[in-house]
């Protein structure tokens, strides 16, 4: 068995490409348009492991996908979590859980897909503005706001 990809449906392909490609730095590996089926598939991958892809599925006809929580999140290791969050914030992307600990942050794509960013290697020293940045009251990461670690025990 071989892992291939995770698929997420997107409502605005250009906004999603701006987030995943321009914001996170993923690289488009290939794209398939299916005009007869009225959808486009775009495959993206992190430069360090292009064999594991994220498939963006864009349906031409507008559809409300809701905000179901049955899909958890995508996770990416980054070289510098502070610089990555600063870059995303400069693009107007909300940092839903700032990297106060220098190790982990969460953001959301334009389609509200949670993206976990993890510092590669050792955690960076806590730094401003992240240490004092409040967590938006979105309902996301309630356990963190209560000071409890996630279920898997990570710090």
Residues known to be catalytic: 116
Q: Which residues neighbour 58 within 8 Å (Cβ) at sequence distance 6 or greater?
A: 9, 10, 11, 13, 16, 39, 40, 41, 42
């Amino acid at each position: 068995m071989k892992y291939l990809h995770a698929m997420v449906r997107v409502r605005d392909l250009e906004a999603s490409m701006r987030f995943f490609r321009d914001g996170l730095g993923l690289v488009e590996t290939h794209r398939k348009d299916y005009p007869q089926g009225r959808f486009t598939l775009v495959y993206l991958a992190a430069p360090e492991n292009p064999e594991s892809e994220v498939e963006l599925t864009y349906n031409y006809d507008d559809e409300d996908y809701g905000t179901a929580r049955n899909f958890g999140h995508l996770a990416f290791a980054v070289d510098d979590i502070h610089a990555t969050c600063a870059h995303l914030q400069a693009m107007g992307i909300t940092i839903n859980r700032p990297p106060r600990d220098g190790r982990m942050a969460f953001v959301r794509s334009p389609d509200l897909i949670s993206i976990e960013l993890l510092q590669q290697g050792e955690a960076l020293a806590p730094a401003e503005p992240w240490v004092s940045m409040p967590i938006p009251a979105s309902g996301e990461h309630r356990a963190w706001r209560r000071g409890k670690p996630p279920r898997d025990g990570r710090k």
